A and B are shown apart, each in its own frame.
Chain A
């Protein structure tokens, strides 16, 4: 188990290093931030001062060396636009994105698993077919358009929910959170639904396939032969088996959700790190883009590791085989 973890950790570090090089070369080697950062009216001296301040006059390898050295100290550069620490800027937006992603994840699980199980237990019923048709729609609906239609419906036509922004927040350990206030929750609802839709469809499909497979297994028939109530068979014997693929995929999808939050945050003007990324790309605020990327890479790696652990907890068979490996 430990060997396995260490090996995984080694791989992860390699990925981080590779991404660092790729990101730097990609973002720093192409494009010219001077055009954006300094007004065209500025004099030569002013421009040179700015270039020197941002370190853009140094050779490429030196820029990279500085970048790596600083990165190891947690300094991923200063935002050209906000003139603050890029990493700090992103981290200040992280709670907003995370709370949105987690709420969406909750929606996906608590809607997707039961719906998928119903569709799996009664594949030929009207309910089952409706659920599957809905999940195909969920896959096909472009995320941003669906978000706009949610706004149109609930904010513009029915005027029951706000169209954007984050609403009131509560400071917990110096971090502003929306889900603790009613106003904040009402602001979160639409974006979270928007973000959850695709994942819910995915979970429905997984849960349905898992349920169908599990209910054909001998152990389900044996459980019935034991005289267990159908409720217990479904909620214990089948559910525990389908949770394994669902957790694996959802864990991986948490990273995906943080990425897709870019779209949702843009549609709903949710002040998270995704919106910050888009704004930074538009303004060529490269340190922020770079910091975002590095942070996401690390986040993905942590998530992948965490999923592997969870997988071990859920599936006793893996625990054993991995311990042997």
Chain B
């Protein structure tokens, strides 16, 4: 890669994100250099589509109690129902719920909670971090003190305590995940913004007497995005894993709207008697989702981080 390209890749995130032909094509080409990453991206997108269109593609709506028959409970994978009209490819749980359908709906819950909390936490952390860097001084010191304090405790512990206080519920889980995550973004953005702030284009903007708001959000922030994108991708995977863990521990989403983590927890008791499928398949789905997102994140990091470039 020539130096000019390198500079373009690191200094012009705006153009790339706005999907103009030149830089974005180059970005796509760089990403495609790793077939594993491309496969992972395809997989992640497929999973997302499955989740979005869950209602239309699953054989059964697992939340509709009218469609459930307790007599069809605990079928092993591949078994058929009483009249042989349906096949449960991944078996059924104790309530006669088709595991395949439950997994797709669980995936929707997991991805939804993960993505939504990440987007909100990203927005929040990004704003706080860039403000801290731009204003510096006491504002910066105060914000970073809070960030450091929070980051010195493991995310799972913070989330557990929050949910112990807030109680159960999808909204509560999302709030907990936002609170857990924002500090990462704040720290990442602040680090980048501190470097960017000293560059000439910010000085130029200040010389034009633009408002603080305009400088921060239109000039400074967009140029801090690349490292943030990497962190955000990895964080979506972390958020999904964390939500699954919390749900498994029984402090996450309610039993009426199970995520993958809760599905796994439901199968825990049956697993000891050898009825593995209730826990096993949701776990595989969870694992595949997380691996796919992490692989995409790895490749993004390689592309967007000029320091790692050779």
Residues of A at the B interface (CB closer than 8 Å) are 15, 18, 23, 26-27, 30-31, 136-137, 139-145, 148-149, 151-152, 155-157, 163, 255-256, 259-260, 262-263, 266-267, 277-278, 281-282, 289, 293, 296-297, 300, 304
Contacts and interface: CB of A to CB of B under 8 A. Distances in A.
Contacts, number: 109
Contacts of A262: 156-157, 160, 249
| B: contact size bracket | 35 or more
B167 A31 contact: yes
Contacts of A143: 245
Interface stretch (B16-24, B201-209, B276-284): B276-284
A136 B294 contact: yes
8 contacts: A26-B162, A26-B165, A140-B290, A142-B244, A145-B279, A145-B286, A263-B156, A278-B160
Contacts of A26: 161-162, 165
A38 B88 CA distance: 45
A156 B156 contact: no
Contacts of B164: 27, 281, 289
Contacts of B248: 144-145, 263, 266
A142 B160 contact: no
Given A277-B160, A289-B164, A137 B291 contact: yes
Given A15-B149, A18-B149, A152-B280, A140 B237 contact: yes
B264 interface: yes
B211 interface: no
Contacts of B49: none
Interface in B145-163: 149, 152-154, 156-157, 160-163
Contacts of B251: 278, 281-282
Contacts of B241: 140, 142
Contacts of A137: 291
Contacts of B31: none
B42 interface: no
B268 interface: yes
Which secondary structure dominates where chain A touches chain B?
helix
Interface in B251-310: 251, 261, 264, 268, 271-274, 276, 279-280, 283, 286-287, 290-291, 294-295, 298
B287 A278 contact: no
Closest 5 CB pairs of A and B: A145-B283, A259-B154, A281-B164, A259-B157, A140-B290
B286 A256 contact: no
A16 to B, nearest CB: 11
Contacts of B280: 149, 152
A262 B268 CA distance: 16
A163 B245 contact: no
B250 interface: yes
Nearest to A277: B160
Most buried by A among B153, B157, B261: B157
Contact of A255 (B154, B237, B271): B154
Interface in B9-49: none
A156 B264 contact: no
Contact of B271 (A141, A142, A152, A293): A152
B166 interface: yes
Scoring B149, B161, B162, B264 by chain A CB atoms within 10 A of each residue's CB, the highest score goes to B161
Interface string B106-117: 000000000000
Given A26-B165, A145-B286, A266-B249, 8 more contacts: A27-B161, A144-B245, A145-B283, A148-B264, A266-B248, A278-B160, A297-B153, A300-B153
